[in-house]
A and B are shown apart, each in its own frame.
Chain A
Amino acid sequence: AQRVTQPEKLLSVFKGAPVELKCNYSYSGSPELFWYVQYSRQRLQLLLRHISRESIKGFTADLNKGETSFHLKKPFAQEEDSAMYYCALAGGYQKVTFGTGTKLQVIP
């Protein structure tokens, strides 16, 4: 079975402060991990995936297989980062499992 855990429902940070959205996973094989984002009144969209190892909008995420984590980080939060963030795991051939989501609120 594959599982994704996002322990925080809401994360509030001040503008300019560092951000870390936590994601832990459970999967016996070699997973692929994603972060999706949903801005207010917009559709869910891919933010980044671990295999591409790139930074998108200043966000990065490193897959830590030892700790089975894929935390999303940004050194300086911006107001436009306020959104709902979902961690997702692709394990089996077709199935993707999403976490429960973390709402990021950046306070001006």
Chain B
Amino acid sequence: DVKVTQSSRYLVKRTGEKVFLECVQDMDHENMFWYRQDPGLGLRLIYFSYDVKMKEKGDIPEGYSVSREKKERFSLILESASTNQTSMYLCASSLVSGGARNEQFFGPGTRLTVL
């Protein structure tokens, strides 16, 4: 059974703080993704990675960066948190065979509030 875990379920930070969101998967998946989920806007892709040390921008990368030093771990970094980054953040992973056409497995999400 694929397990995708996220370091925190709830996080409260102050404007300007540097924030790290961690995601770990245990199924040796090559692809990993970070989305934010907002009511009325659905899921929007922030960044994805198809291999260690590789990253690609998604649809809304501004204000975010990522790090993938190990295959199982994908970190999302908010360099200087702002109130408009208050959201639910979802991590996902998938096999690389067929690329993005494979099922994505999601983590439970991190609800980030920036005050």
Partner-B contacts on A (CB < 8 A) = 6, 9, 32, 34, 36, 43-46, 49, 51, 86, 90-101
Interface residues on B, range: 20 to 34
Judging by beta carbons under 8 Å apart, are B58 and A99 in contact?
no
Contact of B106 among A43, A94, A95 (CB under 8 A): A43
Chain A minimum-CB-distance residue to B30:
A94
For the complex, give the distance between the alpha carbons of A36 and B43 in Å: 11
Which residues of A sit under 8 angstroms from B109, Cβ to Cβ? 43
The 3 A-B pairs at the shortest CB distance, nearest first, are namely A100-B42, A98-B43, A93-B99
Judging by beta carbons under 8 Å apart, are A90 and B40 in contact?
no
Judging by beta carbons under 8 Å apart, are B42 and A95 in contact?
no
Chain B minimum-CB-distance residue to A98:
B43
For the complex, give the distance between the alpha carbons of A34 and B102 in Å: 10
Chain A minimum-CB-distance residue to B41:
A100
Residue pairs across A and B with Cβ atoms less than 8 A apart, 24 shown, are A6-B42, A9-B40, A43-B109, A44-B43, A44-B90, A46-B103, A46-B104, A49-B103, A51-B101, A86-B43, A90-B100, A92-B100, A93-B100, A94-B48, A94-B50, A94-B99, A95-B45, A96-B104, A97-B59, A98-B42, A98-B43, A100-B40, A100-B42, A101-B43
Which residues of A sit under 8 angstroms from B61, Cβ to Cβ? none
Judging by beta carbons under 8 Å apart, are A44 and B31 in contact?
no
Chain A minimum-CB-distance residue to B49:
A94
Judging by beta carbons under 8 Å apart, are A86 and B45 in contact?
no
Which residues of B sit under 8 angstroms from A101, Cβ to Cβ? 42-43
